[in-house]
């Protein structure tokens, strides 16, 4: 029996939860990332199986939770052959045959199924849904909770069971900077966190972030892995969408934990203060993008902008968005701040 379900699939009262995966061992987006955070042991087993070539289209990788209560099984359903590619409808068909066969073999009486291959997979739900319904039509004794695209819960409600990471100096600096930024009651978004990391690294803190010129200014894709690792332990709100306006919150007690670590790192604390001094008065998404973009064209752009007028020209040539959004006088104000505090020469 199939019925429409909404909300958080990971909290469904079902014997088996279906997770959509690729065949190369990555769970970095969508529901797979949610499963990785909620069931890290499943991810470890899946990644090992991928290395052994055991995860492939048309074959389920089933992990038993060892629990007496639901869920008892995590069924990893390969919808993509590679994490970069798109899902193929033939892999969904073959996978559904294998899924139903495994459900019968294991005597599973209830199962929660996501929109297989849709979302990041790129398939059309109107094409996929009939395949799922047809596949389970012959197993009327199984309760199938079918989730449609677009109903993903808020990241802050998603369970996180990954091992808590240690509070390193780099993480402590990020947390302190985020805390100081949020203390002024400004929204703390992914865009602003990207810029905080950029300035912290530019002032000499080796964060190993690889910044490039992005749509919204300097952007480091590998910062997302940092945030993913501390989600649910130090912060709350990060998900795979990577939308610049995503709000991030600090969890209770993490600021004090960061303070304790930083007492032994006076040079890092001095760098933190220098960043805080620089961004004072620019603590909005607009201001942070403006300030970091001007700094970028004055230090990393070729040729570097060495006057306020050159900075205006370089920022306006960056993309149409910046040309339309950033007024010339605002660019000059940002340039003067950077010059005054010797961030540029």
SS3 for 188-208 is CEHHHHHHHHHHHHHCCCCCC
Give the whole-angstrom CA distance, residue 269 versus residue 20. Answer: 43
Going by C-alpha positions, the residue among 19, 172, 183 that lies closest to residue 95 is 19
β-strands 211-214, 217-220: how paired? Answer: antiparallel
CATH 3.40.220.10 boundaries in the chain: 2-150
Q: With DSSP H G I counted as helix, E B as strand and the rest as coil, what are the percentages for the chain, rounded to 5?
A: 45, 15, 40
Going by C-alpha positions, the residue among 63, 71, 61 that lies closest to residue 10 is 71
Query: Please, are residues 231 and 225 in contact by the beta-carbon 8 Å criterion?
Result: no
Helix (H, G, I), strand (E, B) or coil at 302: coil
- Provide the pLDDT for residue 151: 58
Ranges in the chain, pLDDT < 70: 151-159, 183-187, 240-242
Query: Please, are residues 30 and 240 in contact by the beta-carbon 8 Å criterion?
Result: yes
Maximum pairwise Cα distance, the chain:
74
Residues in the chain: 345
Query: Please, are residues 183 and 206 in contact by the beta-carbon 8 Å criterion?
Result: no
Give the whole-angstrom CA distance, residue 282 versus residue 129. Answer: 48
- Report pTM: 0.64
Give the whole-angstrom CA distance, residue 335 versus residue 311. Answer: 7
- Provide the pLDDT for residue 15: 97
Q: Is 339 one of the annotated active-site residues of the chain?
A: no
CATH topology for the 2-150 domain? 3.40.220
- Annotated catalytic residue: which of 4, 72, 80, 322? 80
Q: Tens of pLDDT along 235-285?
A: 888 876 567 777 888 989 999 999 999 999 999 999 999 999 999 989 888
User: CB-side exposure of 136: number of CA atoms within 13 Å?
Assistant: 23
Instruction: For CA atoms 18, 20, 26, 27, give the dihedral sign.
Output: negative
Name the token pair of 13.
Answer: 């009262």
Going by C-alpha positions, the residue among 212, 222, 219 that lies closest to residue 196 is 219
């Amino acid at each position: 029996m199939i019925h429409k379900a909404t909300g958080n699939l990971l909290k469904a009262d079902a014997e088996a939860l279906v997770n959509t995966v690729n065949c190369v061992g990555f769970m970095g987006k969508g529901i797979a990332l949610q499963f990785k955070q909620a069931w890290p042991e499943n991810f470890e087993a899946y990644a090992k199986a991928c290395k052994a070539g055991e995860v492939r289209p048309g074959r389920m990788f089933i992990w038993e939770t060892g629990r007496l209560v639901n869920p008892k099984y995590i069924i990893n359903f390969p919808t993509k052959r590679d994490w970069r590619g798109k899902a193929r409808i033939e892999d969904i068909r073959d996978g559904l045959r294998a899924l139903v066969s495994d459900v019968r073999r294991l005597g599973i009486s209830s199962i929660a199924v996501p929109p297989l291959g849709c979302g990041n997979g790129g398939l059309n739900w109107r094409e996929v849904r009939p395949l799922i319904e047809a596949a389970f039509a012959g197993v009327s004794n199984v309760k199938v909770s079918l989730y449609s695209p677009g109903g993903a819960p808020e990241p802050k409600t998603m369970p996180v069971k990954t091992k808590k990471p240690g509070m390193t100096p780099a993480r402590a600096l990020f947390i302190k900077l985020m805390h100081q930024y949020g203390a002024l009651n400004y929204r703390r978004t992914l865009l602003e966190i990207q810029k905080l990391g950029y300035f912290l690294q530019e002032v000499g803190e080796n964060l190993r972030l690889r910044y490039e010129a992005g749509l919204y200014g300097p952007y480091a894709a590998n910062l997302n892995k940092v945030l993913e690792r501390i989600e649910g332990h130090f912060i709350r709100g990060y998900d795979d969408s990577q939308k610049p306006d995503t709000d991030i919150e600090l969890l209770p007690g993490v600021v004090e934990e960061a303070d304790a670590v930083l007492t032994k790192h006076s040079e890092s604390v001095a760098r933190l203060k220098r960043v805080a001094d620089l961004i004072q008065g620019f603590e909005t998404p607009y201001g942070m993008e403006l300030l970091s973009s001007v700094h970028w064209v004055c230090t990393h752009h070729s040729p570097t902008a060495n006057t306020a007028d050159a900075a205006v020209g370089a920022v306006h040539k960056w993309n149409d968005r910046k040309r339309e959004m950033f007024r010339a006088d605002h660019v000059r104000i940002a340039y003067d701040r950077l010059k005054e505090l010797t961030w540029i020469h």
